[in-house]
Amino acid sequence: MLTVIPELLDADAVRRLRDLIDAAQWVDGNVTSGHQSALAKRNLQLPEDCAEAKQAGQIVLDGLGRSPLFIAAALPLKIFPPLFNSYAGGQAFGTHVDNAVRIQAGTGFRVRSDLSITVFLEEPDRYDGGELTVETNFGVQQVKLPAGHAVLYPSSSLHRVEPVTRGRRVASFFWLQSIVRDDAARQMLFDLDSSVQALAGELGHDDAQVIRLTGVYHNLLRRWADA
């Protein structure tokens, strides 16, 4: 599933993050590419071990921790430290699939990439192009969101970043391993959870049917969870 997470970062968080990364030294984006990605990727990136990337990444992680929508949609088990990239002057990232396993450089930390995340860090009217284009079971979807908004999508999907022909597209991107490996199962759990929360808002959390459905949710999660 493809899920938009509005206002993952507020305006102040975006400003603090951009102050950090705009002052940093950017390098060729292929420093983290696999073989297939390197053939299609033209952008700049912050080195993942630089101090500015680590500080900015913590701002993003703090935002994730405060987002009930992210938790419900992703059911995160492990999150790869956020990375940052930039596209300008016709740069793009051609159609590709993310690597199945991501390993943090210089550490033993690794995640199975079930879900990919892009957090937009530049207002959409400040650049042309740069849409995140994701090929889904329901057709091709293009995403270009306000600064601070994020989108979550399966890492297994074919996707690309369209050429940026004016201005500069800046974003954070990274991957996570979910408690629930299967995307269809995760979608069903998310839909069920959303319905239970809506019913609880109308009937109260102590309503017998809300309690029953909550039990169904947790029993399905217990059946499917890898944790």
- Per-residue pLDDT 10s for the chain (227 aa) are 899 999 999 999 999 999 999 999 999 977 655 555 556 789 999 998 899 999 999 999 999 999 999 999 999 999 999 999 999 999 999 999 999 999 998 888 999 999 999 999 999 999 999 999 999 888 999 999 999 999 999 999 999 999 999 999 999 999 999 999 999 999 999 999 999 999 999 999 999 999 999 999 999 999 999 98
136 lies in the same domain as 188: no
CATH number, domain with residue 204: 4.10.860
Are both 69 and 163 inside the same structural domain? yes
DSSP string, 145-189: --TT-EEEEETTS-EEE--EEESEEEEEEEEEEESS--HHHHHHH
Global pTM?
A: 0.93
Of the candidates 30, 75, 36, the residue with the CA atom closest to the CA atom of residue 218: 75
Distance of alpha carbon 139 from alpha carbon 56, whole angstroms:
34
For position 35, what pLDDT does the model report? Answer: 52
Domain match, 91 and 152 both:
yes
User: Are 214 and 111 in a shared domain?
Assistant: no
Separation between Cα atoms, residue 2 and residue 134, nearest integer Å? 9
Kindly state whether residues 45 and 131 are assigned to the same domain. Answer: yes
Residues 169 and 190 in one domain: no
Binding residues: 96, 98, 159, 169
The predicted structure's pLDDT at residue 36: 55
Q: What pLDDT score does 164 carry? A: 98
Q: Tell whether 210 and 153 lie within a shared domain.
A: no
DSSP line for 59-79 = HHHHHHHT-HHHHHHH-EEEE
The answer on 101 and 174 residing in a single domain is yes
Same domain, 42 and 114: yes
Contact 224, 185 (CB under 8 A): yes
Regarding whether 81 and 151 lie in a shared domain, the answer is: yes
* Six-digit token string for 186: 């995760």
Number of domains in the chain: 2
Residues 44 and 15 in one domain: yes
The SS3 of residue 86 is strand
Q: Which residues are annotated as a binding site for Fe cation?
A: 96, 98, 159
> For residues 83 and 157, what is the distance between their CA atoms, to the nearest angstrom?
19
Residues placed in the known binding site for 2-oxoglutarate = 169
Query: Which residues span the domain enclosing 146?
Result: 3-178
Residue 139 and residue 215 share a domain: no
CATH number where 80 lies: 2.60.120.620
